[in-house]
Structure 1
Amino acid sequence: MGTDRLDEVLDAAYDCLTRYGVRRTTMDDIAATMGVSRSAVYQYVRGKDDAFRRLAARLHTRALERARRAADDPDAPCAERVRGVLAAKHDLVVELSGPSPHTAELLDTKARLFGGICASFTADLRRLLIRLFGEAGTAPGVEPAEAADICIALVIGLESVEDGRALFGPAADALLTGLLGAPAAVG
């Protein structure tokens, strides 16, 4: 029951985030969205900062789980596994960039509330990519860590352009072809 109610609090915090943003949301807003008293919300979070921090952690954790599943798929070729890791990061950004201008606040690496969560997420993705490139090998002159950094830079670049979603597939395929030293056979 406690986890279900915490999920309700985080869902309500997300709803408030889409409408008001982090700064303008109050605990009263979260409580009203849930249809409970403010004191009921305090049973699950210490305050609005805690609610938004937990919300950001939940979203990044889900994306990291998708990335790990992709990386650990024994039946997929390496290029497809790398692409799955990159897609997990890109999809998180697309998800949080769409519904409201405020939801992207959860991705701000410089934000006091979310910076550590974002940095940790990116570091975990980097480790997954280094492992994958270490297993598959890379083109001559490119170390696995460099290949991982290049991949992350690609996704960050695509996050900043309007048609990044449409460009993701061709960009990832072209990059992986170069980094792996062979055509990237991905679907």
Structure 2
Amino acid sequence: MGTDRLGEVLDATYDCLTRYGVRRTTMDDIATTMGVSRSAVYQYVRSKDDAFRQLAHRLHTRALERAQAAAAEDAPYADRIRGVLAAKLDLVLQLAGDSPHAAELLDEKARVFGGICTAFTADLRRLLIGLFTEAGTVGGIEPGEAADIAIALVIGLESEGSGSLLLGPASDALLSGLLGAPVATR
């Protein structure tokens, strides 16, 4: 299976998602968007659900890679944690900005790709726990609790139109409390 053509199928699937949503998109729509026959699309995906599952996997994997890169940076813990949180927020805001339908790929309760969303959040939580463990938290707050609080912050910002602008000051305030030291604002 050619990965370039699979990428084209997933790009076409995303284009259809932004126009029609998951439920209304058909394999014919994906094929037409690519300029190929429906049978050509079936060479790369088994079904519409498979196309959307692979698309969700690709988007979440790219965001996770950004989060992992941020966590591994040689930077202060606050910057690394902020980078992990930004990877999640950026994914959501990008999808929401492209189309109201695109947010369907983030639904943890979705039958087709909910497991991908849940695994993504769990992976981010593990990254954050590792960072909070290394950095040390204060006031009897366990690293897992700190990670849950940080993720809850981002989930709250996801519904804000200015969420990306608020991430810096909100995470600075949160991290000052969790890490027990003032955090330099960006």
TM-score (norm. length: structure 2): 0.97
- Separation in 1, partners of 2:115, 2:138: 32
Q: Partner letter of residue 181 of structure 1?
A: G
What's the counterpart of residue 71 of structure 2? 71
Residue 61, structure 1, aligned to residue 61, structure 2 = yes
What's the counterpart of residue 15 of structure 1? 15
Is contact 1:130–1:148 with CA below 8 Å preserved after alignment? yes
- Separation in 2, partners of 1:161, 1:44: 37
Shift of residue 165 of structure 1? 2.0
Pairs within 5 Å for 1:1-187: 2-73=2-73, 75-185=74-184, 187=186
**Pair 1:101–1:116, CA change in 2 (3 A):** same
Deviation digits for residues 64-122 of structure 1 (CA, Å, limit 9, x no counterpart)? 0000000011x201110000000000000011000111000000111111210000000
Is contact 1:108–1:118 with CA below 8 Å preserved after alignment? yes
Is contact 2:168–2:185 with CA below 8 Å preserved after alignment? no
Name the Cα RMSD after superposition.
Answer: 1.0
TM-score (norm. length: structure 1): 0.97
Shift of residue 185 of structure 1? 2.8
Is contact 1:9–1:44 with CA below 8 Å preserved after alignment? yes
Unaligned runs of 5+ in 2: none
Which deviates the most, 137-146 or 34-43?
Answer: 137-146
Where 2:98 maps in the other structure, the secondary structure is coil
Is contact 2:169–2:185 with CA below 8 Å preserved after alignment? no
- Separation in 1, partners of 2:70, 2:161: 26
Identical columns (%): 78
Shift of residue 167 of structure 1? 1.3
- Separation in 2, partners of 1:18, 1:179: 38
Is contact 1:80–1:185 with CA below 8 Å preserved after alignment? no
Corresponding pairs, count:
186
Is contact 1:158–1:164 with CA below 8 Å preserved after alignment? yes
Which deviates the most, 137-146 or 55-64?
Answer: 137-146
Unaligned runs of 5+ in 1: none
